[in-house]
Amino acid sequence: MRAAVYVEPGRVEVQEVPVPQIGPGELLVRVEACGICHTDLKKILYGLLPPPRIFGHETAGVVVAAGAGAGDFVPGDRVVVFHHIPCQECFYCRRKLYAQCPVYKRVGVTAGFEPAGGGFAQYVRVLPWIVPRGVVRIPEGVSFERASMVEPVNTCHKAIEQLAPEPGDVVLVLGQGPVGLLFTMLARLRGATVLATDALPYRRSLSCMLGATQCWDPYAGDVVEQTRRHSEGRGADAAIVAVSAPGVVEQAVAASRPGSRILLFSQTSQEEKVVLPGAEICVAERTVFGCYSASIDLQPESARLVFEGLLPVDELISHRLPLEAIGEGIRLALHPAEKSLKIVIRPQA
């Protein structure tokens, strides 16, 4: 089969590799769509994990083989595959900190080499601890591209649940790429007033179409002052940092009111440093926290939001590329063109 293999920091090559062999309790899934996620891009760009690996974890496809004991899955089932599932028994799971669970940290989907998600390949092997709770059937009439959005929606849904904006709260979302736009939609769904920023005009326009009251160019005006004008002079009740850029966390703090909550979502690399005045957190009683990856508790509701069209995630998919064009997809994701948003790889195309 064909697969996009991470061979060295900053480089991915499409190669011929063996189709994975499955064992008891496992599934072999033909990948029909897999979104490009910035978490994987950071691993590739900065060499955060040793090669060779096959990344890609926003995976939707069709079951082609099921090992003995793989539940009631049969060939032909259309499915979304999660690559992490917690044990639900350990210290962290009992506190619902699933992303810190040792079992959760083990990647359970592979196309070969060290398991790394594998969705940038034509077939993936789903390991036994993932199958019972990490494979979700796709309803008829839902495209594979839309279904591939279930995992990223879950991660943002989890973060919004932790942020817990109330109806009428002013929420500032910094960055309106695919993740930032998901946050805009989810915050609006909870009844919040959403203010947003992005450097690209198309994204600013789409942001307002999808629920933001205002979306500003962060380089063309004073975001702090603009936010205060739309929050009775106080600043945002909550802020979401949905982009990784120098100074953006500091901007989120400055644009928020005392007692606000500030969510860091895109700061996933050890290379990213944040320096804040202590008094802005302590004296102003702000809460700054992070949220990472998906929650198994939210799988059914996240899938429903996508499958039933309650979130118009199709609006976020700008490119559908064959596997051979993954280099172009990575470049677009790292350096967005005017109308590039979510890029989905179609390995069978």
pLDDT tens digit string along 262-290? Answer: 999 999 878 889 999 999 999 999 999 99
CATH architecture, domain defined by 2-148+312-346: Alpha-Beta Complex (3.90)
Position 35 scores a pLDDT of 98
What residue segments make up the domains of the chain, in order of their start? 2-148+312-346, 154-290
Q: How many CB atoms lie within 10 A of CB 135?
A: 21
Evaluate whether 2-148+312-346 and 154-290 have a shared fold: no
Single out the residue of 124, 137, 179 nearest to residue 155, CA to CA: 179
Strands 342-346 and 317-322: parallel
Structure tokens at 231: 């929050």
CATH class of 154-290: alpha beta
Does the predicted model carry a pTM greater than 0.85?
Answer: yes
326-334 and 38-46 are packed helices; what angle lies between their axes, rounded to 10 degrees?
Answer: 100
pLDDT score at 271: 80
| Residue 116, CA distances (Å) to 70, 124, 157 in order | 21, 10, 23
| CA angle, residues 175, 177, 183, in degrees to nearest 5 | 70
pLDDT of residue 48: 87
Q: What is the pLDDT of residue 304?
A: 98
Chain length of the chain: 349
- The set of residues, in sequence order, having a beta carbon less than 8 Å from that of 322 and lying 6+ positions away, is 345, 346, 347, 349
**Confidence (pLDDT) at 107:** 98
Q: What span, in angstroms and rounded, lies between the C-alpha atoms of 180 and 21?
A: 38
3-state secondary structure of 184: helix
**Alpha-carbon distances of 322 from 19, 114, 121, 328, rounded to whole Å:** 18, 23, 10, 10
Regions of the chain with pLDDT less than 50: none
Reported as a single tens digit per residue, the pLDDT across 178-237 is: 999 999 999 999 999 999 999 999 999 999 999 999 999 999 999 999 999 999 999 999
Exposed, middle or buried: residue 263 (CB in 10 Å: 0-12, 13-18, 19+)? buried
In the numeric block, which tokens belong to residue 10? 């900053």
Q: What is the pLDDT of residue 269?
A: 79
